[in-house]
Structure 1
Amino acid sequence: MPLTVAEVFRENADHPAERSSPLMQALLLGAASDWDAGGITHAALQPFAGDPPGSALPLRFAAALHRLVLTGRAPELAEHYPTVGGAADPEGAWPAARRVLERETEDVQQLTGQPCQTNEVGRTVPLLVGLAEVARRTGEPLRLLEIGASAGLNLLFDRFRFGEVWGPPDSPCRLPDPGIPLDLDGVRVVERAGCDPAPLDPRDDEARLRLSSSVWGDQVARFRRLQGALQMAGSHRVPVERAGAAEWLTRRLDDQPSAQGVPVVWHSIVRTYVDPDEWRQVEALTARPDVWRLSYEPAPEPGARGVPLRLFGSGTDPAGDVLAHGTGHGPPLSR
């Protein structure tokens, strides 16, 4: 029997990432209780009661509320959102959110209906670890190909600053040191490209707002990283092609640009959104002997340790060489 909306929200609130956000915990658990009580949440979210598990309904709902905060339409809720300077106790966030939901029911419903769309630049921390390893093993320059690239921000990774160890010191996007010894001298990208079924243009105000809304309202460091990456993308944008993963990879892997390099296919927290048949095509395409694949996807087994960064390529374990573990948002990493 499919889970109810309340059950989906409670299950999501128990994920390790959500447990790190008191605000998300308060919103998701409050909405779940309100649904069970037949409150305004039930009226607003009823159209999505049959959404498939991978549609990220709780995250879409939270993004809708954050958007109202960012656009100044929910001042009572903004008091609980550090991303806009709020400092009130997160435990009081749900009563404020409920008042907003009663006032803005139709708009919250319309915004919740939009597909989940994030571009978590924190995941460039495991990306850097993976690229350093491919460069070490091959000694070749790299062709970085990202599937599920959203606005293409992660393709700008070498314009970000990682602690005090790598990247332009004056970059507006600052990320933690990977915390893992790396030889970064060989990391040289000669091509970068991405695809997404619904790409966003980071220069577009609406796209920037959608991405900003998807960050959780009490995670200020993530919010600032995103704003810095969006600033960089204003002048250094990498266009993302509107295409499915398998069809796009088929073309890109057969394309040999004048600047030769090793193809490195990168994806992070994307697999759940891709049809299983198409994913099997992706795995077949990237199993070619001249292709490397960096996978940053949650492990399927219950109780797994964080999110593994796996490297697939010549000489690796069939299940991928695990290079590090991180969180759904990237750092901190550990071996």
Structure 2
Amino acid sequence: MTFKDALRHQARSCTGLGSPFMGRLMTLFADRLRPETAIANRLFNWQGDLSPSGQSVPLRLAGALHATALQGGPLRDVYPPHTVSDDALWSAVKETLIRDEAQLDRWLDSPPQTNEVRRSAVLIAAGRWLADRYGLPLVLSELGASAGLNLFWDRYALDVGGQIFGDPVATVRLAPDWQGPTPATSQPQVADRRGIDLNPLDPNQPADALRLRAYLWPDQPERRALTDAAIALATPSVDRGDVASWLEQRLSQTRKGHVHLIYHTIAWQYFPQESQKRATRAIESAGQKATADEPLAWFGMESDGTPGSAGLTLRLWPGDLVFKMGRAGFHGQHVEWTPPD
């Protein structure tokens, strides 16, 4: 896939995810960008998988540009809520590619870190399902946790057709388009929570908070509001390091009387292949030692090649049971919940 192919693919995806501005911006890049600047040259010569299922290069670029707009750069007056012509938007983009070259170059080095709070809707449902099945408190281990906002899903409220699951006065309320049965009524109790990320973000630090907000699309203010509410609630609990090494150490600890829930949401694809293999071996090895009073659960919300949504999978030990739990929009905007009876 060429860079321009990746841009057009991303344009269709963004439009389908309810961001016409991002669809327009990505299309403008595909139509008008030429290798005339250092940043453009880097993008056209990028090696590897540029697509959303790989290195997500178009989203790296979009986040880098949005950061300059949030800081008051030339894009500030042409990004939403402003409405301008394609020519005016592109003129500001070209100016930014030159004016902020050093900052854009640094941002392109790292994959997106959206920390999309709406993905917690499926974590709430999965956590309640586990609480209902086992009746035990949970230990949470999130892989690719970014700022750790989705480590606090048990403090958020899920609205399913007017029925509230969680604290009815929670400051973070998620209301996806829900299909399927409602979540279990059991309220999970979380005894411990930690995450791991190669580049963890501290939402209380201005530079890290900027990064979190930059990957939220400019014409979707509701996502910004949810993120701001989650930042106000969260206390960072994310370690820096490789997921496999961290997970091997965390799984070595005894969790008697608890369900250890390992999970990741649109993160697995960004882990190096060797880390994926080591993490899988660590989980499966720990699963072989799981008991009825120390069960292990592995939940993933990850792209599986189906356009527009991610698959929800759950593996449980003892027994190595595998369940398809449904599907969800990549941003958690819709959920098709199909847990087993």
Q: Same fold (TM over 0.5)?
A: yes
Structure 2 counterpart of 1:217: 218
For residues 176 and 7 of structure 2, the distance between their equivalents in structure 1, rounded to whole angstroms, comes to 33
Q: Which piece of structure 1 moves more, 25-34 or 180-189? A: 180-189
Report if aligned partners of 1:172, 1:231 keep a CA contact under 8 Å in 2: no
Unaligned runs of 5+ in 1: none
3-state SS of the aligned residue for 1:195?
A: strand
Report how many aligned residue pairs link the two structures.
318
2:5 counterpart of 1:7: yes
Report if aligned partners of 1:77, 1:97 keep a CA contact under 8 Å in 2: no
Shift of 1:316: 7.7
AA in 2 matched with 1:212: R
Structure 2 counterpart of 1:146: 142
Q: Which piece of structure 1 moves more, 306-315 or 215-224? A: 306-315
AA in 1 matched with 2:11: A
Report if aligned partners of 2:78, 2:92 keep a CA contact under 8 Å in 1: no
Shift of 1:170: 3.6
For residues 192 and 102 of structure 2, the distance between their equivalents in structure 1, rounded to whole angstroms, comes to 44
AA in 1 matched with 2:283: T
3-state SS of the aligned residue for 2:79?
A: coil
AA in 2 matched with 1:323: M
2:298 aligned to 293, 299, 310, which one? 293
Q: Deviations over 1:114-158 (max 9, x none)?
A: 442221111100111111122222222111111111111111112
Change (3 A) 1:316 1:71: farther
Shift of 1:90: 8.0
Structure 1 counterpart of 2:293: none
For residues 313 and 156 of structure 1, the distance between their equivalents in structure 2, rounded to whole angstroms, comes to 22
2:275 counterpart of 1:278: yes
3-state SS of the aligned residue for 1:297?
A: strand
Report if aligned partners of 1:12, 1:18 keep a CA contact under 8 Å in 2: no
Structure 2 counterpart of 1:306: 309
Shift of 1:329: 0.7
Shift of 1:38: 4.1
Shift of 1:13: 2.1
3-state SS of the aligned residue for 1:146?
A: strand
Q: How does 1:201-280 map to 2 (within 5 A)?
A: 201-233=202-234, 237-256=235-254, 260-280=257-277
Q: Deviations over 1:53-109 (max 9, x none)?
A: 2222111111111111111123x544432xxxx141685644443343344344333
For residues 42 and 266 of structure 2, the distance between their equivalents in structure 1, rounded to whole angstroms, comes to 26
Report if aligned partners of 2:203, 2:236 keep a CA contact under 8 Å in 1: no
For residues 17 and 329 of structure 1, the distance between their equivalents in structure 2, rounded to whole angstroms, comes to 13
AA in 2 matched with 1:299: D
For residues 113 and 253 of structure 1, the distance between their equivalents in structure 2, rounded to whole angstroms, comes to 31
AA in 2 matched with 1:174: R
Structure 1 counterpart of 2:118: 122
Identity %: 27
2:131 counterpart of 1:135: yes
3-state SS of the aligned residue for 2:264?
A: strand
3-state SS of the aligned residue for 2:311?
A: strand
Shift of 1:317: 7.9
3-state SS of the aligned residue for 1:201?
A: coil
Report if aligned partners of 1:294, 1:311 keep a CA contact under 8 Å in 2: yes
For residues 95 and 113 of structure 2, the distance between their equivalents in structure 1, rounded to whole angstroms, comes to 26
Structure 1 runs, 4 residues or longer, greater than 6 Å off: 315-318
Structure 2 counterpart of 1:45: 40
2:158 counterpart of 1:157: no
Shift of 1:181: 0.9
Structure 1 counterpart of 2:63: 63
Q: Deviations over 1:20-71 (max 9, x none)?
A: 3111111111112223x4455xx42322422432222111111111111111
Q: Deviations over 1:175-195 (max 9, x none)?
A: 116734122324111111111
2:21 counterpart of 1:23: yes
Q: How does 1:177-188 map to 2 (within 5 A)?
A: 179=178, 180-188=181-189
